[in-house]
Structure 1
């Protein structure tokens, strides 16, 4: 009888558990914890990770002489991958960026590090888990860091790599297509889907391409991710994909922006924008009028300099939506 996948999160040493599963030829089950959906376990072969290790080593410059810091929890698959890769490379894991040559961060964690004045000089920052705005990457580089950024998903593993969100190109050995606005990838790094028949966004086509519903466009070899597949606001019968709105606002302001739905008695919901910089609302409103369809334009504007994050270090969209819905954020700008 085939042995069940190793539930890595239930072990005392998740990194050792992944490497032991590789030796034993067993599948692993990796629990995910998204910001807007229920947790589920993704099943994969360990080879679907380890086969990408040489590429990661080359792109990030990690070898046995490196010192790697993974400050986020290993319950997040991106952090567990980073820790397993470091051990495979022979690079010791260290507890603080000051001791490291390489640091794995989410964009929210990078923002916090810059605000705290963390010394990033000479360090390579591998940033993932959310969109890395070019302006944030530039701030890190101005602080003396080298920045790498990748896009992927727990179900797909690596899809694209670059220096920021506007500089993503297909990861080595990965084919990327955008079909009807959705990002599809075919590679040796795909998972096998979900454990115990759990439902989720992972969809594997007959030609070997898979998607989790994330939306984007591919032009000139550059992949632009415009939003997670399930992030939408239904307003007056129109489905507004929040990633498309956020892209316009971020490009116009050079600052972070989050779009959520606010309950409305007649329309069901209206689009609301939460900006990290309240002074940017004028530029954001002008861009919305010029570039967005009427249903996409935010009807309410709020400021929240420090966006809440999940335990995995990603911006907690659900928590922001709750703050807005409960009236706990003060509106900014003209109505």
Structure 2
């Protein structure tokens, strides 16, 4: 695994170079190496002290699992990076997940130690009969401090086949599924991102947000694996991030699209803080064109790369202009679009996207799902739908993002993208009249299903004067006229609804299936 080899090399050659930097704490490479010795000793002793330790999932090959469930991005990064040089499997669990799901993941996968400040989680695990150990971040740090470094072993480069991290799917369409990454698989992933996304030696990368997000976690790993400095933050605060970017000479940002949007807004207010940014990297395909244009308007010299990948599989390709609809596939990655029978489809037809990548995990962890990730021949899918044309890949969403209406396949994300260009401004108030939108398929006796658009009010939703819910929303005629001008007839929504708040995952992704349930229950207002 290159992360440990590089950490050791940089600690020897440039010991004072920042490795992990938080808002109020930092570790140099030399300090990270020293810190990791007592950290692993502390975690190892916690596992060893258990009289009836949980049995780790078979995919870990018997290596105990240490999980971190903290809101502190710095502390989470410190622990994950520190344990990387030892025989350990680490996991990050989002403390914002529903409590029952946290308990289910921990007990099902055989996690043995959980570093968490949540008393509710500790009590729920005890009630579930879990035999592992929960320890607070402060108590864990106290144990580290009490250990004599002379009694510890140094970190070392581990065997490439050894399990390294337990990760979880995003949970956009279902509860997150667990999977293992070996050190070789992460090494292969670093090779791809290094070739295309520029985590260069010595570069300062800002990766704001929970480290339980695979995008943030990977930014931490790739920065250390390539000899860079990773700057973390619990969230993106526009009032503090600008000064940090300027003061710390950060030139690269890795963040989710919502943070990129907030960054562009912050740069518009104080552009001097952000002029040193060379590159912004964001995950998720089909980046809204409005985000790219907003960043380009205020920071014209800052490049923006929107990559497509899946945590289970790795990096697949990226887009560097427009709305990210068409993705250039990386030269080391194989991509095919197949029908439900597994037959490869001709160019232009929508089907399931299959990927062949060296970084792909072997499969999901036993007990967390019955879904199959990877076939024996190495091809894998997470259920994304798309089409290939002229060697480029266009995504159409997941299987649940495709509607069949009157015999036509309709990509619901494509319907949503059409409203990126909708005139959202209110000339009288200057307020945003249209917030997020979600296209859904509703059952229909004649057509099988029809397309509907569910709208979340913008900043003109009911306010201090108690106006009606749709006081700031555009009328149906304007929406329909825009859809007819931008979309093929079968893609045009036949119904429009207004909903106070679209259902989302804890990471902020809209849950399409739950939106359908809300509409079908009559809780959304039809326009």
Shared fold by TM > 0.5?
yes
Write the deviation string for residues 231-266 of structure 1: whole angstroms up to 9, x where unpaired: 45688xx89977x03314424653664213568999
Q: 1:115-130 maps to which residues of 2 (within 5 A)?
A: 115-116=265-266, 117=268, 119=271, 120-123=274-277, 124-130=279-285
Confirm or deny: 8 A CA contact 1:69 1:93 kept in the other structure. Answer: yes
The match for 2:316 is 159
Measured in 1, the distance between the counterparts of 2:219 and 2:311 equals 13
| 170-179 or 3-12, larger mean C-alpha shift | 3-12
1:63 matches 2:200: yes
Say which is worse superposed, 297-306 or 197-206, in terms of deviation: 297-306
What is the 5 A alignment of 1:142-153? 142-144=297-299, 145-153=302-310
- Paired residue total: 326
Q: Measure the CA separation in 1 of the matches of 2:501 and 2:261.
A: 9
In structure 2, relative to structure 1, the CA distance for the partners of 1:292 and 1:266 (3 Å cut) is closer
Could you tell me which of 213, 216, 220 is aligned with 1:76? Answer: 213
Q: Look at both structures and tell me which one has the larger radius of gyration over its CA atoms.
A: 2
Q: Does 1:203 align with 2:363?
A: no
The answer to whether structure 1 residue 134 and structure 2 residue 284 are counterparts is no
Q: 2:414 aligns with which of 247, 250, 253?
A: 247
Matches within 5 A, 1:6-85: 7=65, 9-10=67-68, 13-18=79-84, 20=86, 23-25=157-159, 26-27=162-163, 28-85=165-222
Stretch deviating more after TM superposition (215-224 or 279-288): 279-288
**Structure 1, residues 257-294: CA drift from partner, whole Å, max 9, x if none?**
42135689999986421357755623443158x6253x
Once the two structures are superposed, what CA deviation does each residue of 1:160-202 show, in whole Å capped at 9, x if it has no partner? 1222522411124111111121111111111111112432554
TM norm structure 1: 0.79
Larger RCO of the pair (alpha carbons < 8 Å, separation 6+): 1
Q: Which residue of 2 aligns with 1:281?
A: 479
Task: Pick one of 181, 194, 218 that aligns with 2:388.
Answer: 218
2:440 is the counterpart of 1:260 = yes
Q: Deviations over 1:48-97 (max 9, x none)?
A: 12223243234223223311111121111121111111111222222464
Deviations 1:83-130 (A, max 9, x none): 111111222222464313111222233233334547554421111135
Aligned pair 1:174/2:333, yes or no? yes
Uncovered stretches (5+) of structure 1, i.e. residues with no partner: none
Partner of 1:312: 507
> CA separation of 1:245/1:196 partners in 2, compared to 1, >3 Å: closer, same or farther?
closer
Question: Which of 447, 452, 471 is residue 272 of structure 1 equivalent to?
Answer: 452
| Unaligned ranges ≥5, structure 2 | 1-57, 70-75, 89-155, 340-350, 423-435, 459-472
- Whole-Å Cα distance in 2 between the matches of residues 108 and 320 of structure 1? 20
Distance 1:232 1:57 in 2: 34
Query: 1:330: Cα distance to partner?
Result: 4.5
C-alpha RMSD of matched pairs (Å): 3.7
Question: SS in structure 2 opposite 1:141?
Answer: helix
User: How many Å apart are 1:314 and its aligned residue?
Assistant: 3.3
Pair 271,166 (structure 1): closer, same or farther in 2 beyond 3 Å:
closer
Structure 2 SS opposite 1:211: coil
The equivalent of 2:144 in structure 1 is none
Q: Using a 3 Å threshold, how does the CA distance of structure 1 residues 47 and 122 change in structure 2: closer, same or farther?
A: same
Give the Å deviation of 1:218: 1.1
Distance, in Å, in 2 between the alignment partners of 1:74 and 1:241 is: 37
Counterpart CA distance in 1 for 2:63 and 2:217 is 17
- 8 Å Cα contact 2:285/2:306 also seen in 1: no
Spell out, residue by residue over 1:313-334, the C-alpha distance to the aligned partner (whole angstroms, 9 max, x if none): 43454665566456665444xx
Shift of 1:47: 1.9
Q: Name the TM-score, length of structure 2 as normaliser.
A: 0.53
